[in-house]
Every structure is written in C-alpha cells, then in structure tokens.
Amino acid sequence: MYQAELLRGQTILITGGGTGLGRSMALRFAELGANLFLAARREEPLRNTAEEIRRRGGAAAWATCDVRDFAAVDAMVEKAQKEFGRVDVLVNNAAGNFISPTERLSPNGFAAVVGIVLAGSFHCTLALGRRWIENKQPGTILNIVTTYAWTGSAFVVPSACAKAGVLALTRSLAAEWGRHQIRLNAIAPGPFPTEGAWSRLIPSKDYEERHRNRIPLGRFGRHEELADLAVYLVSPQSGYVTGECVTIDGGQWLRQGGQFSDLLELPPEVWEEMEKTRRAAKR
Ligand code: HXC
Ligand code: NAP
C-alpha cells in the first residue's frame, strides 16, 4: 500500500506503544522506516515491542512514564530527543477505561481515566508542541479517540468525556498551531480486539457476539487496517489535512444511531410479508 521507505528519517513518539493498537502502529511505522520511541508505565511491554522492532531491522527506544505527570512527560520527551536527535510525530494513544454504572463511580475513578486520556494527551502535546514552536520545527500529532467522543455512551462516562475533550483539543490546536506548521488529526476506531480493551469492556462471549452483530460490516477491525490509516495521517502525504477525525469502525456508530437500524434484525420473510400486505391493501 505504501512505498517501503515512506517514513524513513522520521521519529515517532507513541504513548502506550508497548501493547494493543499502539504496538501494532509502532511495528508498522518501523516497517516503513521510522524511528520509534515508546512510552508507557510498564517496562516489560515496552521492552518487548522495542526488541521486536529491532529484531525486524528497525530502530526503537523507550522510557517508562505516567502521562498524568507533566514533569515525567517532559523528561520522557527530552530522552526521546536525545535518543534520536528530534521527534517529528506524536501519537497520543495511551488510554485508561472501564465500564461502570456512573452512580457507582468514585471521583478518583473519573479522575484516573480523564487524567490518562485528556490530561495525558494534553501533557504530551504541550511538551512536544513547545519544543517544535521554539525550534521552528514542523510537527504532526495523531490522537486516538473513539466514536463515542461525539455520541457519548452509557457506562463509559469518564472515557466519553475525556475522548470528547481530546477531539476538541485536536480541532482547537489545528486552528491555533497551523501557523507553526503543526498538524493535528485523530482516528476514531470502533472495536478492535486488544487485551487491554477486551478485558475491561467486553464482559462475556455473549456480549462480544452481540457487539459484533451490530457492526454493518459484520466483523471487528483488524490492527493492520488501523495502522495503515495511521501511517497516512502521520506521513507527509497528508500534509494538507489537519483538524480532521477519521472513523474506522465498519459502520458501527451510524448503525447504532439510526432510529430504524434495528430493523436489520428482521428476517427476509418478514419483509416479504409486509410487502404482500402493502400490495394487498392497495388493491
Ligand atoms: C469502577 C474503577 C474500576 C472499575 C478502577 N476503578 N477500575 N471503578 N469500576 N472497573 C477506580 C478505582 O477504584 C480507583 O478509585 C480509581 O478507579 C483508580 O484506580 P487504580 O486502579 O488505582 O488506577 P490506576 O492504577 O491508575 O489504573 C487506571 C485504570 C486501569 C484506568 C483504572 O484500568 C488502567 O490502568 N488502564 C490502562 C489500560 C486500559 O484501560 N486500556 C483500555 C483502553 S480501551 P478509588 O476511589 O477506589 O480510589 C479504550 C476503548 C474505547 O479506551 C472504545 C471502545 C470501543
Ligand atoms: P491497551 O493495549 O490497553 O492500550 C493502552 C495503553 O496505554 C497501554 O499500553 C498502557 O500501558 C498505556 N497507558 C495506560 N495508562 C497510562 C498512563 N497513565 N501513562 C502512560 N501510558 C499509559 O488498549 P488498546 O485497545 O490498544 O487502546 C489503544 C487506544 O485505542 C486507546 O486510546 C483506546 O482508547 C483506543 N481505542 C481502542 C479501541 C479498541 O477497540 N481496542 C476502540 C476505540 C479506541 P501501561 O499500562 O504500561 O501504562
């Protein structure tokens, strides 16, 4: 799909880059020639992913960091710059989430998710954006949100609030920082199987099946599909795209929003029957 060296010479910093979709994006970016810097709280997944990138011939380094702590983020960005000379792209992918009836949430539960997703994305954006502006260096930011950033969703209120905020951050700074040649875009994924999301959000096999059945394309997303979309948005090929959010969800959110979408559950015989009744009534 892309030229083999499309991202050669670019350094990409990706939060949450040791697991799930972050790892998949990191491996794909590296395959196309980018240097990868991975950041998250746990050492083990970061080390594993960095080793995998190097094993495949790429360049990767990592640092542990809790994105809720601005000082830690600033030190992590400094380390990334030292390691590769410069950072060209930031992917705000780290997230925290769980399902809970909202009345059962504690303020700390709300703060944990909003702290990771919204404050964390802001911290990384600020730490890099300041450097880019000071050095008169262009930069690209890709934020990973989700479709309930604009629809909202029951039982994931902290995450919905935070992702809506990240989308607002994307659009606001696209307008404010365009003059510094800093682009910001977002991807809104539907369901993509990962350990992190599935263990916290999909409570049973039965629910997983029902979830899948409500996706018009009839399946969950494949990591490589999301990774290739991310490649486009971080590459110079999308140089005139900023403030945009691209949905990749097999049609899920539109299916959920349409008032008559549940008619998809009607078997063909029922449509036949209704058609017959309508024609008979006409005569
Ligand atoms: C209610 C919960 C809870 C739960 C934690 N809390 N889990 N409340 N239901 N299931 C509360 C705790 O009781 C505590 O409040 C507060 O949240 C902080 O919990 P800690 O465990 O101390 O926090 P921390 O170690 O910082 O962990 C953060 C976390 C955790 C978000 C709670 O799940 C995490 O580390 N997640 C990272 C990875 C992740 O979530 N990946 C999924 C992304 S998927 P009290 O008051 O008791 O102190 C995603 C998909 C979106 O975003 C769209 C899908 C379609
Ligand atoms: P994941 O594997 O759990 O990814 C979350 C990552 O964030 C982990 O690597 C985690 O590493 C890191 N992280 C969490 N808290 C952190 C903190 N305080 N500081 C630094 N890093 C932190 O789940 P995923 O499914 O791949 O999710 C990746 C992104 O896609 C998220 O933004 C998520 O909201 C989004 N998304 C996923 C889906 C889906 O269906 N999978 C759908 C829509 C959107 P540590 O625990 O080591 O810190």
Q: pLDDT, tens digit, for every residue of 202-230? A: 989 999 999 999 999 999 999 999 999 99
148 is catalytic: yes
Which residue's C-alpha comes closest to atom 12 of ligand 1?
Answer: 109
Ligand 2 centre and the CA of 93: distance in Å?
6
DSSP string covering the chain: ---TTTTTT-EEEEETTTSHHHHHHHHHHHHTT-EEEEEES-HHHHHHHHHHHHHTT-EEEEEE--TT-HHHHHHHHHHHHHHHS---EEEE---------GGG--HHHHHHHHIIIIIHHHHHHHHHHHHHHHTT--EEEEEE--THHHH--TT-HHHHHHHHHHHHHHHHHHHHHGGGTEEEEEEEE-----HHHHHHH---HHHHHHHHHTSTTSSPPPHHHHHHHHHHHHSGGGTT--S-EEEESTTHHHHHH-TTGGGGGS-HHHHHHHHHHHHHHH-
Which residue's C-alpha comes closest to atom 33 of ligand 2?
Answer: 95
**pLDDT at res. 283:** 79
Residue with tokens 């990774």: 227
Ligand 2 centre and the CA of 24: distance in Å?
12
Rounded-to-integer distance, Cα 93 and Cα 194, Å: 13
Mean pLDDT (the chain) is 97
Rounded-to-integer distance, Cα 202 and Cα 192, Å: 11
Rounded-to-integer distance, Cα 125 and Cα 118, Å: 11
The ligand with the least distance to the CA atom of 40 is: 2
Rounded-to-integer distance, Cα 17 and Cα 7, Å: 17
pTM of the model: 0.97
C-alpha dist (Å) from residue 87 to 80, 152, 218, 223, 226: 7, 33, 39, 24, 22
Locate 144 and state its tokens: 């990973």
**pLDDT at res. 275:** 93
> Where does ligand 1 bind, in terms of residues with CB under 6 Å?
95-98, 100, 105-106, 108-109, 112-113, 146, 159, 191, 196-197, 200-201
Distance of CA 280 to the CA centre of its chain: 52
Ligand 2 site-directed mutation target among 13, 15, 21, 98, most atoms within 8 Å of CB: 21
Distance of CA 204 to the CA centre of its chain: 24
Ligand 2 centre and the CA of 281: distance in Å?
56
Domain ranges of the chain: 11-249+256-282
**pLDDT at res. 259:** 87
Q: Which of 2, 148, 207, 232 does the annotation list as catalytic?
A: 148
| pLDDT tens string 79-101 | 999 999 999 999 999 999 999 99
The CATH homologous superfamily for domain 11-249+256-282 is: NAD(P)-binding Rossmann-like Domain (3.40.50.720)
| pLDDT tens string 16-27 | 999 999 999 999
The ligand with the least distance to the CA atom of 68 is: 2
Contact call for residues 167 and 121 (beta carbons, < 8 A): no
